Amino acid sequence: MNPLRFLPLVLKQVVRHRGRTLLTVVGVALAMFLFTAVQAMQRGVRTATAATADDTTLVVYRKDRFCPATSQLPQDYTAKIARIPGVRSVLPVKVVVNNCRTSLDVVTFRGVPKDGFLRDRGDTLEVVEGSVADWHRRTDAALIGETLATRRGLTPGMTFDAAGITAYVAGVICSQDPQDQNVAYTALPFVQLAGRDQLGIVTQFNVRVDDAGQLEPVAAQIDALFAVAQEPTATSSEKAFVGKIADDIIELVGFARWLGLGCLVAVLALLGNAVVLGVQGRIAEHAVLQTLGYTGRQVGGLIVAEGVVVAVVGGLLGALAAVGVAKWGSFALSVEGQSIPITADPMLLATGFLVCGALGVVAGLVPAWQASRREIAACFRTV
């Protein structure tokens, strides 16, 4: 027997009480909007901090320093680090941010040697607007991430001000690395001279090793090399570095998981209430259906199907709204120059669909079981 033939009857029952159905759908949509937003933040945290077998980048920072303004290392460490066995490349980076605290609107300038940057990162970046040639031509030129470009409405040829720096947009880059999405790459001397003369001083070194298995040994050798220097270092993998810097954000997002679970409980309560009210108002109708030949199982299936339809409609509306806000708002939680993107993709919609469908089934099980076991005569006596 094809269950789809019951769909018109299910839809008719759903729209029969428009006010109650609309309020339930809106309530489910709001709860699923919050749930999906929390899921997007959690996915961003995993993307930015979860280590993989392909990670080969170390970050060398000033020991016992966190904010970029306080991490100052001599640029001549570059040659010493490059001589360590297993090191493929060393990139000195000067970081300047317009806000070192946690914020949704942070602009991170990263001054880099242009030729060295392209050799080190050219295979992982794609220029989607503008040109690298324009970036080379001007000292004040910047390659900016897509998230920053979208959030600030920047396109090649424009200039923008942040953190006391005025930069020219030479191109917009696309990258799978979360730290490239909210950043402006400029010439190293340009950032060093911005605000005050700090030529020869950098914030950190990005060190690429030959393979992931050498991350810890190379990190230990770097820190041992500068252990007694005037500016000692603390070296860790890039993902571990981001996780340490963004510890407060990660803890906040972890707490938000409980908010997400609370949203699911609210969805279940809303759906359960709507289904119970609908069943109580149609006791006699269920008796008529059984009189016409519908089995108790079929009546119960119709009730469960109503809960699923309301849940899926409300859930998809809320999930679509959350994904749209995250995608077109281009939000990222930034702290001390490191970014945690709020990642939204079609998988979130699929997750919302499955979760709402499951909640709709659960919400309708008890009322459906009660209705399927009710005798026909008892149904008419209830009226």
pLDDT in tens, 80-133: 999 999 999 999 999 988 766 666 677 889 999 998 888 888 778 888 999 999
- Asked if the structure places residue 370 within a domain, the reply is yes
Q: Rg (Cα) of the chain, in Å, rounded?
A: 29
- Asked if the structure places residue 141 within a domain, the reply is yes
| pLDDT higher at 170 or 301 | 170
Domain count, the chain: 2
**Could you tell me if 41 and 69 lie in one domain?**
no
CA 172 distance to own-chain centroid: 21
At 380, is the pLDDT very low, low, confident or very high (cuts 50, 70, 90)? low
**Could you tell me if 220 and 282 lie in one domain?**
no
Mean pLDDT of 366-378: 66
Cβ contacts of 137-141, under 8 Å, gap ≥ 24: 137/170, 138/168, 138/170, 139/187, 139/189, 139/190, 140/166, 140/167, 140/168, 140/186, 140/187, 140/190, 141/167, 141/168, 141/169, 141/170, 141/186, 141/187
Q: Is the pLDDT assigned to residue 206 strictly greater than 90?
A: yes
At 345, is the pLDDT very low, low, confident or very high (cuts 50, 70, 90)? confident
Please tell me the predicted confidence (pLDDT) of residue 1: 44
- Asked if the structure places residue 59 within a domain, the reply is no
Distance CA 78, CA 225 (A): 12
Percent of the chain with pLDDT over 70: 82
- Asked if the structure places residue 102 within a domain, the reply is yes
**Could you tell me if 36 and 162 lie in one domain?**
no
**Could you tell me if 38 and 87 lie in one domain?**
no
**Could you tell me if 284 and 378 lie in one domain?**
yes
At 170, is the pLDDT very low, low, confident or very high (cuts 50, 70, 90)? very high
| pLDDT higher at 316 or 338 | 316
- Asked if the structure places residue 292 within a domain, the reply is yes
Matching residue, tokens 């999405």? 181
Q: Is the pLDDT assigned to residue 143 strictly greater than 60?
A: yes
Q: Is the pLDDT assigned to residue 210 strictly greater than 70?
A: yes
Please tell me the predicted confidence (pLDDT) of residue 155: 92
Please tell me the predicted confidence (pLDDT) of residue 53: 60
**Could you tell me if 100 and 203 lie in one domain?**
yes
Length of the chain: 383
- Asked if the structure places residue 109 within a domain, the reply is yes
**Could you tell me if 115 and 150 lie in one domain?**
yes
Give the DSSP H or E segment for 349. Answer: helix 346-373
Q: Give this prediction's pTM.
A: 0.74
**Could you tell me if 68 and 40 lie in one domain?**
no
- Asked if the structure places residue 238 within a domain, the reply is no
Last residue of a domain, one of 231, 260, 292: 231
Q: Which of 31, 44, 43 is nearest to 104 (CA)?
A: 44
Most confident segment among 44-58, 135-149, 235-249, 266-280: 135-149
Q: Is the pLDDT assigned to residue 255 strictly greater than 60?
A: yes
- Asked if the structure places residue 260 within a domain, the reply is yes
Structure tokens at 66: 């966190």
Q: Which of 48, 41, 66, 44 is nearest to 239 (CA)?
A: 48
**Could you tell me if 252 and 321 lie in one domain?**
yes
**Could you tell me if 218 and 115 lie in one domain?**
yes
**Could you tell me if 217 and 264 lie in one domain?**
no
The letter for the amino acid at 277 is L
Distance CA 222, CA 234 (A): 8
**Could you tell me if 219 and 272 lie in one domain?**
no
Mean pLDDT of 44-53: 70
Q: Is the pLDDT assigned to residue 5 strictly greater than 70?
A: no
Mean pLDDT of the chain: 81
Q: Which domain holds residue 165?
A: 64-231
Last residue of a domain, one of 231, 265, 280: 231
Distance CA 152, CA 105 (A): 9
Mean pLDDT of 242-256: 73
Give the DSSP H or E segment for 99. Answer: none
